[in-house]
């Protein structure tokens, strides 16, 4: 799955994606607590805290076999938008492999940004500190976390049907 990420197109062959893999129960619990506490802090300041959502963040992490921090290098010779798109394509390649092998996976953007910049372009200080302590690949000055890729076994669950509208609603021919 991770090897498939390498084949994502990227301008100047910068390969800007960086992945931090959380596999042990302790490391996944640390991610869960980070995301839950960040949610609590933000939602309480907005008056919208829900204990059930907080609990779900903790439970989701324990159900995952792996949690991957999806990060992008921002100090390359390509434009930032190109690097973000290349990283998203790398994750799409991972998602396609997961689907092919009937492995459940989803991208969550929870907690990646608290700035007024576009989501993900400036991480909250506590997230940047957590990731910097977790991996030498994360430097809060030149690397940004875009989200989290949760991976896990679907068990015997019925594979969900796609919920997409017809492509004709989104295209026009010129």
pLDDT at 154: 77
Q: What is the mean pLDDT of the chain?
A: 89
| 122-149 confidence digits (pLDDT tens) | 788 888 899 999 998 888 788 889 999 9
For residues 1, 104, 126, 8, the Cα torsion angle rounded to the nearest 10 degrees is 30
pTM over 0.85: yes
| 35-55 confidence digits (pLDDT tens) | 999 999 989 999 999 999 999
The answer to whether residue 13 scores a pLDDT higher than 70 is yes
pLDDT at 105: 94
pLDDT at 119: 53
Share of the chain above pLDDT 90, in %: 64
pLDDT at 21: 97
| 73-126 confidence digits (pLDDT tens) | 988 888 889 999 999 999 999 999 999 998 999 999 877 765 555 655 778 888
pLDDT at 124: 83
């Amino acid at each position: 799955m991770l090897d498939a990420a390498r084949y994502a197109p990227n301008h100047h062959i910068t390969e800007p994606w960086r992945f931090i893999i959380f596999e042990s129960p302790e490391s996944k619990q640390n991610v869960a607590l980070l995301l839950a506490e960040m949610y609590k802090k933000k939602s309480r300041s907005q008056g919208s805290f829900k204990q059930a959502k907080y609990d779900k963040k903790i439970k989701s992490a324990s159900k995952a076999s792996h949690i991957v921090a999806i990060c992008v290098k921002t100090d390359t010779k390509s434009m930032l938008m190109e690097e973000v798109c290349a990283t998203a394509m790398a994750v799409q390649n991972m998602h396609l492999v997961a689907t092919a092998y009937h492995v459940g996976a989803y991208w969550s953007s929870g907690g990646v940004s608290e700035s007024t910049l576009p989501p993900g372009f400036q991480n909250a200080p506590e997230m940047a500190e957590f990731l910097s302590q977790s991996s030498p690949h994360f430097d809060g000055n030149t690397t940004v976390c875009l989200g989290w890729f949760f991976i896990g076994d679907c068990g015997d669950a019925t594979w969900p049907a796609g919920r997409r509208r017809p492509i004709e609603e989104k295209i026009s021919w010129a």
